[in-house]
Chains A and B, each alone.
Chain A
Amino acid sequence: MIKLIHVTKTYFLGDGVQALRNASLTIAPNDYVGILGPSGSGKSTLLYMMGLLDIPTEGTVIFEGRDTARLSDVELSALRGKSIGFVFQFYHLVPHLTVMENVELPLYYQGLDPWERHDRAKVQISKVNLSHRARHLPAELSGGERQRVAIARALVTDPRLILADEPTGNLDSRSGAEILAILEQLHTQGKTVVMITHDLSIARRFPRVIRISDGVLQEGSSG
């Protein structure tokens, strides 16, 4: 699915900070992976790298067999829109768009007609049990509801890879459990799911855990 080969990412803020150091990693289709690390360990950078939002300073990112360094912005964007679904800690919904419009948004960038977007978004919203909220703005929803909207938005394009960046970090334990249940279900449906967390108890639920600290990866079991 996705392969990182000797990837290093350096941020040039004053003295260069290495967010990733010589990281190599392979995610196979239908993998269910937790990435565990404290804040500032470079785990978000790793996720953005896998999500084709960031470009490595050194090394290669292979996405479904294609070297991402050789792809144009339009190709990368299309790949991102089609193959990857993002779920963020702070939901990252567009505040002035309704739930329906937020869920429709990725389909817009795939060039779908308005009615087709609407139909597909409607189905996806009902799957996360928010049909009654479709016309509401994100600010009118609870944290758990917002994250469910974000998941609906991530899934509306039927992506092969789900990247979740601490999706439960801002939720109470009940809402968090709901979100985790949805992700687990996606895995059983055949999706590839990668989730970031700093919470060991959550990481334990994943069959495969990658630890990261100071930008260095370390493969290991959750045990």
Chain B
Amino acid sequence: MSVIWILELANEGARNLLRHKLRSLLSLLGIVIGVGAVIAMMAVGEGAQRKVLKDIGGLGLHNIILDSEEPSVANISPASDNSRQGAFQYGLIPRDVDQFRALLPSATVLVGHLVKQKIFYRSTRVDAPVLGVDPAYFKAFPVEILAGHLLAEVNNRDRHPVAVVTEEVARTIPAVGGVLGQIIQIGGNYFRVIGVIRMPSSKAGMVFLPYRTARNLFGILTIKDEAGKEEYTKNEIGRIVIHLEDDGVGIPEAAAVVDRILKKNHPMHDYEMTVPLAQLQVAQQTRKTFDLVLIVIAAISLVIGGIGIMNIMLAIVTERIPEIGIRRALGASQRDILLQFLSETVVLSTSGGILGCVLGVLAVPILSRLTEWPGVFTPSAIIVALVFSWLVGVIFGIAPAMQAAKMHPVDCLRYE
């Protein structure tokens, strides 16, 4: 059992298969396609998973994020007294904040004021949501400062007309020499850009103002001018972020408390609650299901591939009956014959596995482009694929090889 001996077996197997190139190629097509599909799907699945995890991680796993949401008309109860002052009020209210603070003393409750105004840089329209936030807001989210600095306590206290923009917004502002220090216009008011940041949570881009500045300048009324009819809506608080420091422990409990309060205070359900940790768990569960489906697909395709190989090997054994007889007469034992045919099957299935890996690797860039998910190769996927295609060769090669080995030498020699 030396290396030379194994190489000779493999070499002989390969030579025999190469004598019938087309037939060998067709017989391993099942394995090639199966392995290729699984490799490609694993790479794309891994890429998708990483993207989802990064997005969710950007939202902060220690946070519970609440956003006001304008309810659809059907949800508004006529008995609501919101229309009393001529403006329809919806969304999160200071009472929510007070109750959160009372019931979750260990949490930091941050408030954001959503400004529904248009942004201009000179005559260029910039499209991004504007949020007035407490400076502590940036502690709840992972933030990278690219230029300038974040909103400071003094900016908030003294209602400074300053803004921090994300890099996506900065990119759309055509300012020579960078956006830092430039003046942007939001709803008729002027703001100086004091910082550019990168936030993994907001791919769409955002503009941040000091909370008190935003609240003072824009108030809580929004006028919608639709088809000549003016419509007022009133939203006290655009966003509440509840930030828990302690490693995400207590997030599910906190989320339950928050949910209970909100359900009581907002029968119209004019809010949206995001718990990144829960999303993460859902994503991980989804991944497990995806993996399971993948394993089933892989198993099915490998079995089909294996049957294809077994079929061709049975034909090869029949074709080579006289040769079996000759080899037996020259001193080959049953074990020698078994190994000869088994090595041929393993060479066949392993080449199928290798071709499948190549196919999968080639398919990933195409799939990535179609799905817009990055393809991430894990070396273990390729090793697993090769080991399994090798195993398929052994498992499905055993029966034909045994058949060959068990043949009676005299019958083989007399076979016409």
In the complex, what distance in Å separates the CA atom of A108 from the CA atom of B330? Answer: 9
Task: Say yes or no: B19 contacts A80, CB within 8 Å.
Answer: no
Partner of A109, one of B16, B322, B330, B409: B330
Best-surrounded residue of B15, B16, B408, B410 (most CB of chain A within 10 A): B410
Task: Say yes or no: B336 contacts A77, CB within 8 Å.
Answer: yes
| CB-CB under 8 A for A74 and B327, given A53-B413, A92-B322, A96-B16 | no
Distance between B339 CB and nearest chain A CB, rounded to angstroms: 11
| CB-CB under 8 A for A109 and B4, given A48-B410, A86-B330, A94-B323 | no
Q: Give per-residue flags for B296-329: 1 if the beta carbon is below 8 A from chain A beta carbons, else 0.
A: 0000000000000000000000000011011111
Chain B binding site: helix, strand, loop or mixed by DSSP?
A: helix
Partner of B331, one of A81, A88, A114: A81
In the complex, what distance in Å separates the CA atom of A94 from the CA atom of B326? Answer: 7
Task: Say yes or no: A96 contacts B19, CB within 8 Å.
Answer: yes
Q: Give per-residue flags for A56-89: 1 if the beta carbon is below 8 A from chain B beta carbons, else 0.
A: 0000000000000000011011101110001010
For the complex, is A51 an interface residue (Cβ under 8 Å from B)?
yes
Question: In A44-60, which residues have CB < 8 Å from any B CB?
Answer: 45, 48, 51, 53-54
B side interface size, CB within 8 A: 24
Using CB atoms, name the residue of chain A closest to B8. A114
| CB-CB under 8 A for A92 and B413, given A105-B327, A114-B4 | yes
In the complex, what distance in Å separates the CA atom of A105 from the CA atom of B12? Answer: 12
Distance between B10 CB and nearest chain A CB, rounded to angstroms: 14
Residues in A with CB closer than 8 Å to B331 are 77-78, 80-82, 106, 109-110, 157
In the complex, what distance in Å separates the CA atom of A153 from the CA atom of B15? Answer: 21
Task: Say yes or no: A74 contacts B413, CB within 8 Å.
Answer: no
Interface size class of A (residues with CB under 8 A): 20 to 34
Residues in B with CB closer than 8 Å to A54 are 408-410
Residues in A with CB closer than 8 Å to B335 are 73-74
Partner of A51, one of B4, B329, B332, B333: B329
Partner of A53, one of B16, B322, B328: B328
In the complex, what distance in Å separates the CA atom of A77 from the CA atom of B324? Answer: 13
Residues in A with CB closer than 8 Å to B345 are none
Interface residues of A (CB under 8 A from B): 45, 48, 51, 53-54, 73-74, 76-78, 80-82, 86, 88, 92-96, 105-106, 108-111, 113-114, 153, 157
A-B contact pairs, 21 of them (CB 8 A): A48-B409, A48-B410, A48-B413, A53-B410, A54-B409, A54-B410, A76-B333, A77-B331, A77-B332, A77-B333, A78-B333, A80-B329, A81-B330, A82-B331, A92-B322, A105-B327, A109-B330, A109-B331, A109-B336, A110-B331, A113-B4
